Chain A
Amino acid sequence: MIGNLVLSILFATMGSNEVKGRVYDAYSKEPLPFVNIIIKGTGIGTVTDDKGFYTLQVPDSIENFDIVYSMMGYKKAEKRIRFDKENSITVNIAMRMETLKIQGIIVSAKRERFKESASITPTSISQKELKLLPSFIESDLMRTIEMLPGVTKSSDFSTDISVRGGGPDQNQVLIDDIPLLNPSHLFGLVSAFNVNAIRNAELLASGIPVKHDASLSSVLDIKTRGVGQEIKGLTGVVSLSPLSSGLTIGSPIQSLNTNFLLTARRTYMDKLLALFHTDLPYYFYDGYMHTETRIGDWTAILSGYMGKDFLDVRDEDNSSIKIVGFDWGNRVGALNLFHSFADDGLLHFSTGWSNHNFNIRIMDTLFITSGTINVGTFGVDYSRKFAGHKITFGIGENYRPFDYESNLQMGYNYKYDDIWSNRGMMYIEDQYAPVKKLLLRGGVSLTHYHSETAKVNVCNTDVFGAYRLATKYFISDVLAVTTSIGNFHQYVVPGGSVIMGSSFPVYYWIPLGGQYDPEVAHHFNLGCEGWFTDKFYFSLETYYRKYNHLLQMRDLENIDIENEEVYYKTMLESGYGKAYGLDALLKKEMGRFRGWLSYTFLNTDATFGDYTYPTEWDRRHNLHLMFLGTLPKSWDVGAQLTFSTGNPYTSALARFRYRRPSLPYDDTDPLWVELEGKKNQVRYPPYLRLDISSSKVFYFGNNELDLKVSVFNVLNRRNVFFYYYDYDKEPPVKKPFYMLPIIPSIELVYRF
């Protein structure tokens, strides 16, 4: 500690040279964060940042030396450096995995990260894990994230997740630092994230940095991937699954110091069935773009996403008549600029635009609704390490225009086309180690929020403060205790279309204004993490979340719809809630048999009016077992098991004959209707699901063919999605509607 301080002071007062560059995985070409970099035989060193970049300061007195790059799970790499005239050398390094099993699991909870992070190390999922774990039809990021501790969900039919009791809308999804709204295809059944385009995904559920203050529950931070400069020529992936076909191509452009990666996929069943004169009126496509350019000390990452779903059901007799037309999708563009300074500082500039849009048309013009939500984002932050501190400060700007229109032929017409909100924030955060065994991180932010909904005569301007504090006390090199607290705000809420706990692919996101203050939550976390041996990582964290202010859409019958203004002012009701629980993770990261076992205890409830009830996400006990193994002859096997308490639901108590008062005559035949009990007072039977997979890589020279066979719900367990009553029989028969049955799938991936 004192030595490093002395060296820091020395560098500040003396001239120094620098070695900088980036470290990659030799197989995937993905940048490697938290790689230890040290000048051999000295105590001088650094680590790569989360983009794989590093800058190493070298005193003038050292001219010839070796740099050692090391990271758990990778072979050490050494590079001989000699300074002649120049005082800055760029060295990019590709590291190879130690096990030589290039399709093996990547280490995700690394000790370097353990030492660097002041809170429980966020669990990240790498592209390789995504490829090896069992798939639902094809590899899906969200289907793997649901196996992490603290994550619960309500059904197989949706990729929506709940993190520590918060609703899916309370998770902010960032793709290359730009918010992505409603990221799903196939009515929520599969997520919008093509695993071939993703470098890394990290779920932040505790110790969330103060720069994230736009969601109450968690941040899902997704980074798209590029290719390394070391690649020669074109590289790519051709993939085929029962769901979609895809193509990924990428290449460095050495002359421009640039590389690019393009990824696209599309469902093909509609085209295939058309050959057999069968009409499938649905398809989706999505595409990713990622380019990285190095110009001097600057690195520019330009990335984008575009996805669209189409449902087009037409009249069998007259194809010009549209029975149901439904399309929705997202477009995201992001530009991230990084500049590393000689003083170990890093400037990060990010800007981008995200768009979510949907159009629904029923019976041509009988019912038409459309919506467009945009998010313009701009942010700058600067971070620098010195004397045991790592200070980050920055500003962020978030502009959201909304545009909704609904037309019911011969009925109500609503148009909200002049709604926008603006959120500007500034923040500062410091991570500091006052003594060797203690790491502190604290930050504060100020957010200026303004919303305008001119058409409904409400606007709002206010300033909100947020704070975060995290501590980590190292009991030993392999064991630490952590605490973290903070407050969180959310400025937009979903206005509808949440059906049976599963979000529909379109949300009417509503900016909060007028009498609606932003939602507020407080997080309190206490945990520990470490290693039993070199092989087993564990984390244990208890949490308590107080939701001081929550907003939810009222039941439709309680909303006044006489005009837009009244509708807006009556559509939300406020309440409060809480969640507490425990997340435990035991993970084996290396060896032939790897995986994790996670357990989550969750108790979450919400109070609206004078009634407190468990939320739809309140699966009290959740057990996940994830297993990956390497068998002889290069076969890999995977399995994931989920066993959890059933979700709460609202049960019918009785039935009665119902007469609609809006019909002109009340002697029309009444209908049987169920009288519902109090909300979410009973539970479905426990949920159990086992998925398995097996994969093998076949080598053809420098090319590879991955074959992966997965079986979703191999036990064909009939998990209940909901109950309904069949009135064709008397008395009516209570019938379960089951979630997904056993679904086998084969994926082929050809890499060149």
Chain B
Amino acid sequence: MKKYFLVILLLCVLFASCSVTEAPFEHKYVINLNLRLPMPWQKAYVDSTYRLDQSVNEELTGISGADIFVVDKDSNIFTFSESETTGTYLSDDSLWVRPNMTYIVNIAIKGDTISQEVIVPGSLHIYTPADFDTISLGNPPMLIWNNCSGCYKNNYYINAYPTGFADSIMFPMATSDTLLGIFYARQLFQETDTLYTVSVMGMDEHCYNASKAWGNFDEIDDERAIGVIGATVMDTIVVYVKE
């Protein structure tokens, strides 16, 4: 009987020895800097990864003291300054992002400098409907926009949400066409007789890759950082939706 117990004990040790159940923590910088056209001010978020077993105050996340500057092909430098919110940086200049322009984005954090080239796609413009049109869900028009040059794979994301409630958006619609019968999607317009904001967005390759499904979290060509440094172009209209 002792023999059997020994065999069982040996097997238990053998089986358990194959079980590695914990992985070590990995520190990386987390950067989100998308040059957004036609936004007047550009924003950057600089943060880091956190231990899963470490308590974090969300209000205090972010890394202060990063030096962010963007250089265009004419060697013009556009700098960012830290806002009141830790880890959030705002561009010092307004309306400097141009369509079809190439920029080098640089973020220096505690002696580490992360750089990446960004090419802003061409302009995007919604033709139909016009801003502040009234849309009848009984006879809805198509949403039509231009095919923007440089939008990676000519792919567009369309969002529709009650004006002022952008936080409620989770999953946009996507298409490679330049028109969409968005107003046929009755489920999107459950509240009628109200204003909806409709936006069409195109992206460069980095933002496009990061946007698919749950996203590629690592769209920065540097092992020390994850996140995305890229560019998006967008047009937005506000329409009144009625039954």
| Contact B30–A657 (Cβ < 8 Å) | yes
From A368-376, A524-532, A728-736, give the one contacting chain B.
A728-736
Q: Render A638-674 as a binary contact track against B, CB cut-off 8 A, 1 for contact.
A: 0000011110000111111111111111111110011
| Contact B43–A410 (Cβ < 8 Å) | no
Q: Does A84 contact B (CB under 8 A)?
A: no
**Closest Cβ of chain B: how far from A584's Cβ, in Å?**
13
Looking at B23, B28, B214, B230, the one whose CB has the most chain A CB atoms below 10 A away is: B23
From A118-126, A239-247, A679-687, give the one contacting chain B.
A679-687
Residues of A within 8 A of B53 (CB): 731, 734
Q: Render B199-234 as a binary contact track against A, CB cut-off 8 A, 1 for contact.
A: 101010001011111111100000000101010101
Residues of B within 8 A of A317 (CB): none
Give CA–CA (A54, B176) in the complex, Å: 65
| Contact A661–B52 (Cβ < 8 Å) | no
**Closest Cβ of chain B: how far from A559's Cβ, in Å?**
8
Q: Render B124-140 as a binary contact track against A, CB cut-off 8 A, 1 for contact.
A: 00000000000000000
Give CA–CA (A661, B228) in the complex, Å: 8
Q: Does B76 contact A (CB under 8 A)?
A: no
| Contact B34–A673 (Cβ < 8 Å) | no
| Contact B21–A663 (Cβ < 8 Å) | no
Residues of B within 8 A of A659 (CB): 32, 45
Q: Does B54 contact A (CB under 8 A)?
A: yes
User: Which residues of B line the A interface, CB within 8 A?
Assistant: 11-12, 14-16, 18-28, 30, 32, 34, 36, 43, 45, 47-56, 58, 61, 153-155, 157-159, 166-167, 169, 172-176, 180-182, 184-185, 187-188, 197, 199, 201, 203, 207, 209-217, 226, 228, 230, 232, 234, 236
Give CA–CA (A652, B211) in the complex, Å: 21
Residues of A within 8 A of B199 (CB): 664
Residues of A within 8 A of B154 (CB): 562
Q: Beyond A557-B213, A656-B49, A731-B56, is A664–B169 a contact (Cβ under 8 Å)? A: yes
| Contact A662–B201 (Cβ < 8 Å) | yes
Residues of B within 8 A of A668 (CB): 166-167, 169
Give CA–CA (A561, B212) in the complex, Å: 10
User: Which residues of A line the B interface, CB within 8 A?
Assistant: 363, 366, 408-412, 555-563, 620-621, 623, 643-646, 651-670, 673-675, 677, 681-686, 725, 730-732, 734
Closest residue on chain B to residue A410 by CB atoms:
B185
| Contact A663–B23 (Cβ < 8 Å) | no
Looking at A410, A652, A659, A670, the one whose CB has the most chain B CB atoms below 10 A away is: A410
Closest residue on chain A to residue B232 by CB atoms:
A661
Residues of B within 8 A of A682 (CB): 20-23
| Contact B19–A675 (Cβ < 8 Å) | no
**Closest Cβ of chain A: how far from B184's Cβ, in Å?**
7
Closest residue on chain B to residue A659 by CB atoms:
B32
Give CA–CA (A655, B58) in the complex, Å: 12
Provide 20 A-B residue pairs closer than 8 Å at the C-beta atoms, listed in order of the A residue.
Answer: A409-B187, A410-B158, A412-B175, A562-B155, A563-B176, A654-B26, A654-B51, A657-B30, A664-B159, A664-B169, A664-B199, A666-B45, A673-B217, A674-B52, A675-B26, A681-B20, A684-B19, A731-B51, A731-B54, A734-B53
| Contact B11–A643 (Cβ < 8 Å) | yes
Which of B23, B30, B212 is in CB contact (< 8 Å) with A681?
Answer: B23
Which of B11, B23, B175, B207 is in CB contact (< 8 Å) with A677?
Answer: B23
Q: Which 5 A-B pairs have the closest CB atoms?
A: A654-B49, A662-B211, A651-B23, A653-B26, A556-B213
Which of B24, B197, B217 is in CB contact (< 8 Å) with A658?
Answer: B217
| Contact B18–A557 (Cβ < 8 Å) | no
Residues of A within 8 A of B228 (CB): 661
| Contact B30–A661 (Cβ < 8 Å) | no
Residues of A within 8 A of B26 (CB): 653-654, 675, 677
